[in-house]
Structure 1
């Protein structure tokens, strides 16, 4: 832009110099005309004097014109040098402008790329924040599940202890039941032996009565026969055996009742044991599986790196 201004100034100075030169020529022509008219109207002595003055004026004007021309020439040369220097500066400035323009385009492209990367990183940061929040929620849920698991394990330990206690009780009751069953079996055998003895005595008594009735005696004789020592002994023996049998039957009934009671207790223990086993199986089925969260530290490190990059001092040089 400076080069056209310099050319205009130089052209204006040249025109000014030509105009001054034309003015001087006009003045010289006017003086010559005046000299010509003066030569016709004045005497020669006056004319010579006027001519001398005019010659001096002419020389002065010529000297001034030469000085003006010399000055214009010097100005022209200086202006040419200035124009040349300006052209060189303009060329250098143009090259620098091209370089700065290329640098600007490069910086603009870099800025656009960094802006896009900034947006991508910002989106990634939002995604990571959401993932981190999800992971935090998962950790809270995992902690709750672990606490619940500890509670279930404690309950399981208590149930196992209860199960062991019930098993011990069952073993004790089983031993008691076996002992009572042995006693009951012994009592049954004694009862069976007594029944055999009673049957034998009843058969002997029947045979004795048959022998007594075969003699066709009277009723008093039969009574007298029963009152004989053999019949009294048989009756006493039968009465003793009947009483013993009755006591054994009562003992068997008591043992049966005790066996039934212990059997009920044994069945109750078995039911409790089965219930404890089912609860243990249910707790084992409800046992949560621990989720692997080894990638949580990796996400935290990535989030910290992205945050440090986004808020670093280098990002502040670019317009938002």
Structure 2
């Protein structure tokens, strides 16, 4: 039944996508990039037009619902050439692109100008500093801000009816990330099962609430012929951690998540795949608390010698040594 429904979904998507080849590029949506030992990884998406509107707190819920739905009515432009200097790439059928530029000796934030025909945009890239003590990977939903991601109906309601001005960021999450970041010394990254369509909104939320800026690893909600949404939350988060550990081979990692979507199990698997690379795990316990499966995973992480702070807030993590250096 699921396979049959998925194939119907593919047919509908293809019908709605007819005429995509004749669309003209009208905008480049920049995503925050990162660096590997060899490359600057520049990311973004090419669309025929933008559908974002400024967010403000007084907008009613119906306006927010309409604006959120507009984010998914993307007129993506596939198979067009994107360039930055002498480096080029083609957008895929959903308009996404990745440019791999040679890395130089500079560090910190870089702005790479990307072109599609006469259109250009600056794509930010974060290059880890040589004095970084560790890297941070954090979940977003119910870790940095309240969404109710562990409850489908609650998460859907919050996603549809809110905007960047109304999203609730946990104050102690802001304090924790500021402490871990050490004023930009330690690179911060965010991983979420939210769609790439939310990248601009999430960036706005983080800026409004003074969360440290960093690359986001979101999900493509495209439909394949075998499933509605490719991969699972755990697959996506685990793969993103693998990418980042490969990109920053000299750094240990602090992993932050919550108990609502069993992040402890995901981080335990990452610790097994990358022995010695996970320095600490921090988990916010959701309203449902820590169940038996989570507790077993937490105990297993601690058995590896990795400290785990878990609770309804980040007070335990905030009370730890601020530096967390690997000497």
TM-score range, shorter chain: under 0.3
Larger-Rg structure: 1
**TM-score under structure 2 length normalisation:** 0.12
Write 1 or 2 for the structure with the bigger share of helix: 1
TM-score (norm. length: structure 1): 0.12
- Which structure has greater strand proportion? 2
